[in-house]
Structure 1
Amino acid sequence: MQIGCATRDEHAIGLVKSVGYDYLEFSGKGLVAMTEEEYQELKKDLSRTGLRCECLTAYCPPEIIIAGPGFDPENAADYAKQVAKRAQELSVCNVSVGSPFSRNLPEGFDRKLAKEQACRFFEETARVFAPYGITVCVEPLGRCFCNFINDLSEAEEIIVRVGAKNLGMVVDFYNMEQNGDADQDLGKYLSVILHAHISDDAGDPYKRDFMRPEKKEIHQNRVRRFYEAGYAGRISVEIDEPVIREKASSSLAMLCGAGISL
């Protein structure tokens, strides 16, 4: 089991490595927003520590529309090219697309049209990343964050309709918990699940943090059932808060103690 730390803080690379995480998961929109100087410094830090940036999350800013008013597939493809250029230089393997503000539909918006737009978005995005051997993942999000693609079944439908070989799903236990279905059977979705996220919050749903020690048994049971069902991929602790050594170590130990053997 490979365990990563998903953080938007590029200054925490050395700390993430020293704690013992297997890889870094960085922000896609943060990667694009970097100046060339900042980007080169990120590459140096990764090289110096030996920590690989294997995955990207926080894919795009609100102006890149996944579904809804202002949807522009050419704009989506152009943005994907920007991400892909730097992602492939970092040897990124997987890109997860959550980005709630890019798919929060206004009241009364045609849901059928939204689904068609989302399919086109992921078709274009997967097409751009395919030549680099990078997989793209649809991420179902909590209903407290957006009102479209909240259930795993919705994400699966889009993945099947698009039919791209490098398109799958990332399951996020934190988002599922927000929806009250974190203990659902994930076995039926294994054919499309390519990545996983897990975390708790720091008193606010928008402040994802490392896992709370008092929820150790809950988290370990969920992760254990997931892997026993047949999942064999990466899992990242995804946070918005600063990387604190004690919290980072506690979450890593929690996952390592789940009794997973692959």
Structure 2
Amino acid sequence: MFTRQRPESQTRPQEARARFRGGLVATTSGWSHGYVQANLVSVPARHAIALRRFAVRNPQACPLLDVVGPGRYRTELAFGADLRRDLPVYRVWQKGELVAERTDVADLWGTDLVTFLTGCTFTFEPFLERAGIPLRHLEQGVNVPMYRTTLKCLGATRFRGPVVVSMRPVPAAMADHAAAITGDMPYAHGAPVHIGRPAAIGIRDLAKPDFGDPVWLHDGDVPVFWACGVTLQEAVVKAKLPFAITHAPGHMLITDRRAKINDTGEIRLLR
């Protein structure tokens, strides 16, 4: 049974990153309470302006936290972090096809790769816990389920695709409270995009997520859907770029930035 006192929740970000750099593979939900987690997408520089435009046009699904310039692998969000090594699992893509999952991509990190770091719903989970809202995926020891939807993003040149959502079952009486809490954290995707009927956003079967693992609802729960950072990954995959690196869904960069309520975040310029 999940408890709030598990050791990972108290792990400092630098220690967490060091453990992942050392080869530990784990989903990062429940890690380093109080700190912002981030999705990662790295693409060749010639595609960076269009991808940044896509993210800016779809801020709820792709809340930009940092854009790291060509060939660089450091971010001001995490002191000393190595973006090539400090996430638990990376995915390597060629022409839209997944060709590898790795714990280290340093040898693949070209001098022209531009890296986008976007917000993640894992950031707001401790705030839900503090409000007494259960996290069923942590109770059940699995990755959060994620689904492609029929909600469409605003496109930017070759980048387009559906909004991907993560789902957390919430007791019906607490759903509005969960929405209010997360609505004050736009840098972590903000308020839910939908509550209730999965079919209304094109999800046919909650037991068959496109990413992550199934999570079982308790009696009285309703499914609550938040926009998910895998949306940016899906746009890159659909664009069939010759090469790209992303995080594996559920395996995030844990930053040194403190999570806050009523924080609009910021977009950093290419550098």
TM-score exceeds 0.5: no
TM-score, normalised to structure 2, is 0.26
More helix by share: 1
**Higher strand proportion:** 2
Pick 1 or 2: higher relative contact order, CA cutoff 8 A, min separation 6: 2
What TM-score do the two structures reach when normalised by structure 1? 0.27
